[in-house]
Protein backbone atom coordinates (compact mmCIF):
# COMPACT_ATOMS: atom_id res chain seq x y z
CA UNK A 1 0.00 0.00 0.00
CA UNK A 2 1.29 3.43 -0.87
CA UNK A 3 1.38 6.08 1.83
CA UNK A 4 -1.65 8.35 1.74
CA UNK A 5 -1.88 11.89 3.09
CA UNK A 6 -5.15 13.67 3.75
CA UNK A 7 -5.96 16.81 1.81
CA UNK A 8 -6.10 19.45 4.55
CA UNK A 9 -5.37 23.10 5.16
CA UNK A 10 -3.08 22.88 8.17
CA UNK A 11 -2.30 20.39 10.85
CA UNK A 12 -1.08 20.65 14.42
CA UNK A 13 2.09 18.88 15.44
CA UNK A 14 1.10 17.75 18.93
CA UNK A 15 4.06 17.22 21.17
CA UNK A 16 2.47 14.55 23.31
CA UNK A 17 1.82 10.82 23.00
CA UNK A 18 0.17 9.73 19.82
CA UNK A 19 1.20 12.60 17.57
CA UNK A 20 3.43 11.80 14.65
CA UNK A 21 5.74 13.19 12.07
CA UNK A 22 4.76 13.49 8.42
CA UNK A 23 7.24 10.80 7.47
CA UNK A 24 5.36 8.22 9.53
CA UNK A 25 1.81 9.20 8.55
CA UNK A 26 0.09 6.82 6.19
CA UNK A 27 -3.61 7.21 6.72
CA UNK A 28 -6.21 9.70 5.63
CA UNK A 29 -8.98 11.45 7.51
CA UNK A 30 -12.52 10.22 7.17
CA UNK A 31 -13.56 13.12 4.97
CA UNK A 32 -11.27 11.87 2.17
CA UNK A 33 -10.41 14.30 -0.60
CA UNK A 34 -13.85 15.13 -1.92
CA UNK A 35 -14.07 18.60 -0.41
CA UNK A 36 -16.61 21.23 -1.16
CA UNK A 37 -19.60 19.77 -2.96
CA UNK A 38 -21.05 20.46 -6.37
CA UNK A 39 -20.22 23.32 -8.68
CA UNK A 40 -22.56 24.81 -11.27
CA UNK A 41 -21.06 22.98 -14.26
CA UNK A 42 -23.16 20.10 -15.60
CA UNK A 43 -21.60 16.66 -15.56
CA UNK A 44 -21.58 14.97 -18.96
CA UNK A 45 -19.14 12.09 -18.47
CA UNK A 46 -20.69 8.66 -18.13
CA UNK A 47 -19.65 6.35 -15.29
CA UNK A 48 -20.03 2.60 -15.03
CA UNK A 49 -19.27 -0.01 -12.39
CA UNK A 50 -16.04 -1.94 -12.85
CA UNK A 51 -16.96 -5.55 -12.13
CA UNK A 52 -13.29 -6.40 -11.58
CA UNK A 53 -13.15 -4.28 -8.44
CA UNK A 54 -14.45 -5.34 -5.01
CA UNK A 55 -14.33 -3.12 -1.92
CA UNK A 56 -14.72 -4.33 1.65
CA UNK A 57 -14.77 -2.76 5.10
CA UNK A 58 -12.38 -4.79 7.23
CA UNK A 59 -13.14 -3.23 10.59
CA UNK A 60 -11.19 -1.23 13.11
CA UNK A 61 -7.83 -1.91 14.67
CA UNK A 62 -5.22 -0.19 16.78
CA UNK A 63 -2.11 0.31 14.72
CA UNK A 64 1.42 1.00 15.89
CA UNK A 65 3.52 3.25 13.70
CA UNK A 66 7.27 3.45 13.24
CA UNK A 67 7.64 6.20 15.84
CA UNK A 68 5.91 4.02 18.45
CA UNK A 69 2.62 5.93 18.46
CA UNK A 70 -0.72 4.14 18.46
CA UNK A 71 -3.96 5.11 16.75
CA UNK A 72 -7.31 3.59 15.91
CA UNK A 73 -7.90 3.20 12.19
CA UNK A 74 -10.66 1.80 9.99
CA UNK A 75 -9.55 -0.29 7.02
CA UNK A 76 -10.98 -0.33 3.50
CA UNK A 77 -9.63 -3.12 1.28
CA UNK A 78 -9.73 -3.27 -2.51
CA UNK A 79 -9.41 -6.45 -4.57
CA UNK A 80 -8.80 -5.91 -8.28
CA UNK A 81 -8.34 -8.42 -11.07
CA UNK A 82 -7.26 -5.84 -13.67
CA UNK A 83 -4.55 -3.19 -13.91
CA UNK A 84 -6.77 -0.11 -14.01
CA UNK A 85 -5.75 2.82 -11.81
CA UNK A 86 -8.04 4.03 -9.02
CA UNK A 87 -8.26 6.16 -5.89
CA UNK A 88 -10.09 5.02 -2.72
CA UNK A 89 -12.21 7.50 -0.81
CA UNK A 90 -14.94 7.38 1.85
CA UNK A 91 -17.85 9.70 2.51
CA UNK A 92 -20.76 9.66 4.94
CA UNK A 93 -24.22 9.16 3.53
CA UNK A 94 -25.27 12.48 5.07
CA UNK A 95 -22.47 14.37 3.35
CA UNK A 96 -23.17 12.62 0.06
CA UNK A 97 -26.72 13.92 0.17
CA UNK A 98 -26.06 17.39 1.61
CA UNK A 99 -23.02 18.25 -0.53
CA UNK A 100 -23.78 16.41 -3.76
CA UNK A 101 -27.50 15.68 -3.66
CA UNK A 102 -26.63 11.99 -3.95
CA UNK A 103 -25.18 12.58 -7.44
CA UNK A 104 -22.19 10.29 -7.82
CA UNK A 105 -20.89 11.99 -10.97
CA UNK A 106 -20.73 15.34 -9.16
CA UNK A 107 -18.90 13.69 -6.29
CA UNK A 108 -16.36 11.99 -8.61
CA UNK A 109 -15.66 15.27 -10.40
CA UNK A 110 -15.26 17.15 -7.12
CA UNK A 111 -12.82 14.51 -5.91
CA UNK A 112 -10.85 14.76 -9.15
CA UNK A 113 -10.71 18.56 -8.88
CA UNK A 114 -9.35 18.40 -5.34
CA UNK A 115 -6.73 15.81 -6.19
CA UNK A 116 -5.72 17.80 -9.28
CA UNK A 117 -5.21 20.85 -7.07
CA UNK A 118 -2.90 18.85 -4.82
CA UNK A 119 -0.84 17.75 -7.81
CA UNK A 120 -0.77 21.25 -9.29
CA UNK A 121 0.37 22.72 -5.96
CA UNK A 122 3.20 20.20 -5.78
CA UNK A 123 1.83 18.46 -2.68
CA UNK A 124 1.30 15.13 -4.46
CA UNK A 125 1.97 13.27 -7.70
CA UNK A 126 -0.53 11.13 -9.59
CA UNK A 127 1.77 8.13 -9.32
CA UNK A 128 1.74 8.47 -5.54
CA UNK A 129 -2.02 9.03 -5.32
CA UNK A 130 -3.28 6.24 -7.57
CA UNK A 131 -3.30 2.49 -6.98
CA UNK A 132 -3.70 -0.59 -9.15
CA UNK A 133 -4.22 -4.22 -8.25
CA UNK A 134 -4.99 -5.15 -4.65
CA UNK A 135 -4.54 -2.51 -1.94
CA UNK A 136 -5.93 -1.16 1.32
CA UNK A 137 -6.16 2.20 3.02
CA UNK A 138 -6.16 3.03 6.74
CA UNK A 139 -8.56 5.86 7.52
CA UNK A 140 -8.71 7.85 10.74
CA UNK A 141 -11.36 6.28 12.94
CA UNK A 142 -14.74 6.91 11.34
CA UNK A 143 -17.90 8.10 13.03
CA UNK A 144 -20.80 5.79 13.71
CA UNK A 145 -23.41 5.86 10.97
CA UNK A 146 -23.94 5.13 7.28
CA UNK A 147 -20.93 5.37 4.95
CA UNK A 148 -19.97 4.83 1.35
CA UNK A 149 -16.55 3.75 0.12
CA UNK A 150 -15.60 4.35 -3.50
CA UNK A 151 -12.81 3.25 -5.78
CA UNK A 152 -12.82 5.95 -8.45
CA UNK A 153 -11.02 5.15 -11.69
CA UNK A 154 -8.36 7.49 -13.08
CA UNK A 155 -5.98 7.55 -15.99
CA UNK A 156 -2.28 8.10 -15.27
CA UNK A 157 -2.60 11.80 -16.21
CA UNK A 158 -5.32 12.38 -13.61
CA UNK A 159 -8.35 12.21 -15.89
CA UNK A 160 -11.35 10.26 -14.67
CA UNK A 161 -11.56 6.94 -16.50
CA UNK A 162 -15.30 6.53 -16.00
CA UNK A 163 -15.04 3.37 -13.89
CA UNK A 164 -15.88 3.01 -10.22
CA UNK A 165 -16.77 0.58 -7.45
CA UNK A 166 -18.98 1.30 -4.46
CA UNK A 167 -19.44 -0.18 -1.00
CA UNK A 168 -22.23 0.81 1.42
CA UNK A 169 -21.54 0.01 5.04
CA UNK A 170 -22.56 1.01 8.55
CA UNK A 171 -20.50 1.56 11.67
CA UNK A 172 -22.31 1.00 14.95
CA UNK A 173 -21.75 3.18 17.99
CA UNK A 174 -19.69 1.34 20.57
CA UNK A 175 -20.50 0.63 24.20
CA UNK A 176 -18.76 3.34 26.25
CA UNK A 177 -15.64 2.28 28.09
CA UNK A 178 -14.88 3.14 31.70
CA UNK A 179 -12.17 5.52 30.52
CA UNK A 180 -14.63 7.37 28.25
CA UNK A 181 -17.16 7.73 31.08
CA UNK A 182 -14.58 9.27 33.40
CA UNK A 183 -14.72 12.52 31.43
CA UNK A 184 -18.52 12.83 31.55
CA UNK A 185 -20.05 15.40 33.88
CA UNK A 186 -19.63 18.96 35.05
CA UNK A 187 -16.14 20.35 35.52
CA UNK A 188 -14.45 23.51 36.70
CA UNK A 189 -11.70 24.45 34.25
CA UNK A 190 -9.30 27.34 34.55
CA UNK A 191 -5.90 28.82 35.14
CA UNK A 192 -4.23 32.22 35.30
CA UNK A 193 -4.53 34.93 32.68
CA UNK A 194 -1.69 37.13 31.41
CA UNK A 195 -1.97 39.35 34.49
CA UNK A 196 -1.70 36.39 36.85
CA UNK A 197 -5.37 36.51 37.84
CA UNK A 198 -7.39 33.33 38.15
CA UNK A 199 -9.98 32.73 35.42
CA UNK A 200 -12.26 29.70 35.41
CA UNK A 201 -15.45 28.41 33.80
CA UNK A 202 -17.94 25.70 34.59
CA UNK A 203 -18.23 23.35 31.62
CA UNK A 204 -20.38 20.31 30.92
CA UNK A 205 -19.12 17.29 28.99
CA UNK A 206 -21.82 14.99 27.59
CA UNK A 207 -21.49 12.11 25.16
CA UNK A 208 -21.58 12.90 21.46
CA UNK A 209 -20.47 9.44 20.38
CA UNK A 210 -19.25 6.72 22.75
CA UNK A 211 -15.47 6.32 22.80
CA UNK A 212 -15.18 9.02 20.15
CA UNK A 213 -16.24 12.53 21.21
CA UNK A 214 -18.03 14.72 23.76
CA UNK A 215 -20.18 17.81 23.52
CA UNK A 216 -18.67 20.63 25.56
CA UNK A 217 -20.75 23.55 26.76
CA UNK A 218 -19.73 26.52 28.89
CA UNK A 219 -16.25 27.50 27.64
CA UNK A 220 -15.88 31.24 28.31
CA UNK A 221 -19.65 31.32 28.90
CA UNK A 222 -19.89 32.11 25.19
CA UNK A 223 -23.41 32.77 23.85
CA UNK A 224 -24.74 33.00 20.32
CA UNK A 225 -26.71 36.07 19.10
CA UNK A 226 -29.93 34.48 20.43
CA UNK A 227 -28.46 34.07 23.91
CA UNK A 228 -27.88 30.32 23.75
CA UNK A 229 -24.65 28.53 24.66
CA UNK A 230 -22.17 27.73 21.96
CA UNK A 231 -21.51 24.01 22.10
CA UNK A 232 -18.73 22.09 20.38
CA UNK A 233 -17.12 18.68 20.21
CA UNK A 234 -13.88 17.62 21.84
CA UNK A 235 -12.28 14.37 20.77
CA UNK A 236 -11.64 11.35 22.98
CA UNK A 237 -8.50 9.38 22.20
CA UNK A 238 -9.24 5.85 23.36
CA UNK A 239 -5.61 4.80 22.98
CA UNK A 240 -4.29 7.39 25.46
CA UNK A 241 -7.48 8.25 27.36
CA UNK A 242 -6.95 11.96 26.61
CA UNK A 243 -9.36 14.55 25.26
CA UNK A 244 -8.32 16.84 22.40
CA UNK A 245 -9.48 20.43 21.84
CA UNK A 246 -9.51 21.52 18.19
CA UNK A 247 -10.05 24.88 16.55
CA UNK A 248 -13.55 25.34 15.16
CA UNK A 249 -15.73 27.53 13.00
CA UNK A 250 -19.27 27.99 14.32
CA UNK A 251 -21.11 30.45 12.11
CA UNK A 252 -20.91 33.83 10.40
CA UNK A 253 -22.66 36.72 12.16
CA UNK A 254 -23.11 40.44 11.60
CA UNK A 255 -21.98 42.65 14.49
CA UNK A 256 -23.08 46.18 15.41
CA UNK A 257 -20.64 47.69 12.91
CA UNK A 258 -22.64 46.05 10.10
CA UNK A 259 -19.72 43.82 9.08
CA UNK A 260 -19.57 40.03 8.85
CA UNK A 261 -17.50 38.01 11.29
CA UNK A 262 -16.82 34.31 11.70
CA UNK A 263 -17.35 32.95 15.20
CA UNK A 264 -14.37 30.68 15.89
CA UNK A 265 -12.52 28.90 18.64
CA UNK A 266 -8.84 29.48 17.90
CA UNK A 267 -5.48 28.93 19.55
CA UNK A 268 -3.09 31.74 20.56
CA UNK A 269 0.70 31.63 20.25
CA UNK A 270 3.40 34.12 21.20
CA UNK A 271 6.30 35.32 19.08
CA UNK A 272 8.58 37.80 20.75
CA UNK A 273 6.34 40.15 22.69
CA UNK A 274 3.40 39.75 20.32
CA UNK A 275 0.42 37.42 20.54
CA UNK A 276 -0.91 35.83 17.38
CA UNK A 277 -3.77 33.45 16.68
CA UNK A 278 -4.01 30.66 14.10
CA UNK A 279 -7.29 30.62 12.20
CA UNK A 280 -7.12 27.09 10.79
CA UNK A 281 -8.42 23.61 11.52
CA UNK A 282 -5.78 22.54 13.98
CA UNK A 283 -5.39 20.71 17.30
CA UNK A 284 -4.90 23.25 20.09
CA UNK A 285 -4.61 21.31 23.35
CA UNK A 286 -4.86 17.96 25.10
CA UNK A 287 -6.41 17.07 28.45
CA UNK A 288 -4.99 14.29 30.63
CA UNK A 289 -6.62 12.80 33.73
CA UNK A 290 -4.29 12.95 36.70
CA UNK A 291 -6.55 12.28 39.70
CA UNK A 292 -8.27 9.32 41.32
CA UNK A 293 -11.77 8.11 40.44
CA UNK A 294 -13.22 9.78 43.52
CA UNK A 295 -11.31 13.07 43.19
CA UNK A 296 -10.97 13.45 39.46
CA UNK A 297 -8.70 16.20 38.17
CA UNK A 298 -7.09 16.79 34.81
CA UNK A 299 -4.48 19.00 33.19
CA UNK A 300 -4.87 20.66 29.79
CA UNK A 301 -1.65 21.52 27.93
CA UNK A 302 -1.03 23.22 24.60
CA UNK A 303 -0.02 21.31 21.46
CA UNK A 304 3.03 22.21 19.43
CA UNK A 305 2.74 23.93 16.06
CA UNK A 306 5.01 25.15 13.27
CA UNK A 307 4.12 28.53 11.79
CA UNK A 308 5.17 29.60 8.31
CA UNK A 309 5.30 33.39 7.88
CA UNK A 310 5.01 35.32 4.63
CA UNK A 311 8.74 36.10 4.63
CA UNK A 312 9.51 32.37 4.41
CA UNK A 313 10.64 31.91 8.00
CA UNK A 314 9.28 29.08 10.13
CA UNK A 315 8.61 29.43 13.83
CA UNK A 316 8.21 26.39 16.09
CA UNK A 317 6.18 27.00 19.22
CA UNK A 318 3.30 25.75 21.40
CA UNK A 319 -0.18 27.10 21.89
CA UNK A 320 -0.48 29.41 24.90
CA UNK A 321 -4.29 29.52 25.17
CA UNK A 322 -7.57 28.99 23.30
CA UNK A 323 -10.16 31.70 22.84
CA UNK A 324 -13.58 32.38 21.33
CA UNK A 325 -13.26 35.08 18.65
CA UNK A 326 -15.05 37.13 16.04
CA UNK A 327 -12.72 36.78 13.04
CA UNK A 328 -13.42 39.41 10.34
CA UNK A 329 -14.43 38.14 6.92
CA UNK A 330 -12.66 41.20 5.54
CA UNK A 331 -8.90 40.45 5.77
CA UNK A 332 -8.30 44.10 6.68
CA UNK A 333 -10.85 44.03 9.51
CA UNK A 334 -10.22 43.89 13.25
CA UNK A 335 -10.57 40.77 15.36
CA UNK A 336 -12.76 40.87 18.46
CA UNK A 337 -12.89 38.38 21.32
CA UNK A 338 -15.64 37.23 23.65
CA UNK A 339 -13.43 37.74 26.71
CA UNK A 340 -10.18 39.70 26.88
CA UNK A 341 -8.90 37.62 29.81
CA UNK A 342 -8.64 33.89 29.20
CA UNK A 343 -6.63 31.32 31.18
CA UNK A 344 -3.24 30.39 29.80
CA UNK A 345 -2.04 26.81 29.51
CA UNK A 346 -1.66 24.66 31.50
CA UNK A 347 -5.26 24.58 32.67
CA UNK A 348 -6.56 22.54 35.57
CA UNK A 349 -9.85 20.67 35.51
CA UNK A 350 -11.73 19.65 38.64
CA UNK A 351 -14.68 17.25 38.36
CA UNK A 352 -17.76 18.63 40.15
CA UNK A 353 -20.58 16.18 39.46
CA UNK A 354 -21.99 13.63 37.04
CA UNK A 355 -24.81 15.99 36.11
CA UNK A 356 -24.57 17.88 32.83
CA UNK A 357 -27.78 19.89 33.20
CA UNK A 358 -27.63 23.56 32.30
CA UNK A 359 -29.83 26.49 33.31
CA UNK A 360 -29.62 27.84 29.78
CA UNK A 361 -31.64 26.66 26.82
CA UNK A 362 -30.23 23.90 24.62
CA UNK A 363 -27.42 25.12 22.40
CA UNK A 364 -28.78 26.72 19.27
CA UNK A 365 -25.76 25.87 17.17
CA UNK A 366 -23.50 22.91 17.71
CA UNK A 367 -20.37 22.41 15.68
CA UNK A 368 -18.53 19.12 15.21
CA UNK A 369 -14.75 19.26 15.25
CA UNK A 370 -12.95 19.57 11.93
CA UNK A 371 -9.33 18.86 12.70
CA UNK A 372 -7.67 15.47 12.90
CA UNK A 373 -5.15 14.99 15.63
CA UNK A 374 -3.30 12.23 13.80
CA UNK A 375 -2.24 14.22 10.79
CA UNK A 376 1.12 15.03 9.27
CA UNK A 377 3.06 17.89 10.80
CA UNK A 378 2.74 20.87 8.49
CA UNK A 379 3.18 24.58 8.78
CA UNK A 380 0.26 26.78 9.74
CA UNK A 381 -0.05 29.84 7.52
CA UNK A 382 -3.28 31.61 8.47
CA UNK A 383 -1.86 33.70 11.30
CA UNK A 384 -3.20 37.04 12.56
CA UNK A 385 -2.35 39.42 15.37
CA UNK A 386 -4.50 39.18 18.48
CA UNK A 387 -4.50 42.82 19.55
CA UNK A 388 -6.82 42.02 22.43
CA UNK A 389 -4.09 40.08 24.26
CA UNK A 390 -1.54 42.30 25.95
CA UNK A 391 1.00 41.11 28.49
CA UNK A 392 2.85 43.13 31.07
CA UNK A 393 5.87 40.88 30.67
DSSP 45-71: ---EE-TTEEEEEEEEEEEE-TTS-EE
ω into 98 cis (within 30 of 0): no
Cα–Cα distance list, 349 to 25, 187, 298 (Å): 32, 6, 5
Position 172 pLDDT exceeds 50: yes
Cα–Cα distance list, 343 to 15, 195, 263, 268, 318 (Å): 20, 10, 19, 11, 15
Query: Per-residue confidence at 358, pLDDT binned at 50, 70, 90?
Result: low
What is the four-CA torsion angle of 181, 184, 188, 190, rounded to 10 degrees?
70
Looking at residue 21, its pLDDT comes to: 28
* Segment 335-356, tens digit of pLDDT: 999 999 999 999 999 999 988 7
Give the 3-state secondary structure percentages of the chain, helix then strand then coil, rounded to 5.
10, 45, 45
Mean per-residue pLDDT for 214-239? 91
Is the separation of the CB atoms in 55 and 168 below 8 Å? no
> What does the alpha-carbon distance between residue 285 and residue 321 come to, in Å, rounded to a whole number?
8
Mean per-residue pLDDT for 61-86? 89
> What does the alpha-carbon distance between residue 91 and residue 372 come to, in Å, rounded to a whole number?
16
Amino acid sequence: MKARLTTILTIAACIFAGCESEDNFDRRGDWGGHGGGRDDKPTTQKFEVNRNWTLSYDGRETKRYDDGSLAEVDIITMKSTDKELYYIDVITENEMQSSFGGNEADYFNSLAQNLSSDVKNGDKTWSALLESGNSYVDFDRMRAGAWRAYAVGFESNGRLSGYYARLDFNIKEEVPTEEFNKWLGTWKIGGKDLEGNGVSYTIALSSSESNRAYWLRGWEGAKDPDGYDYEFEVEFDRVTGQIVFNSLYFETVKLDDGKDYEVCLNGNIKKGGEYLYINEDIAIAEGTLDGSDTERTATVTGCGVNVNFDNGTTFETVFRSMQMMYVPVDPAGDTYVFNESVPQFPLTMEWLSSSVKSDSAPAARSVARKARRFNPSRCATKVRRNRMMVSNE
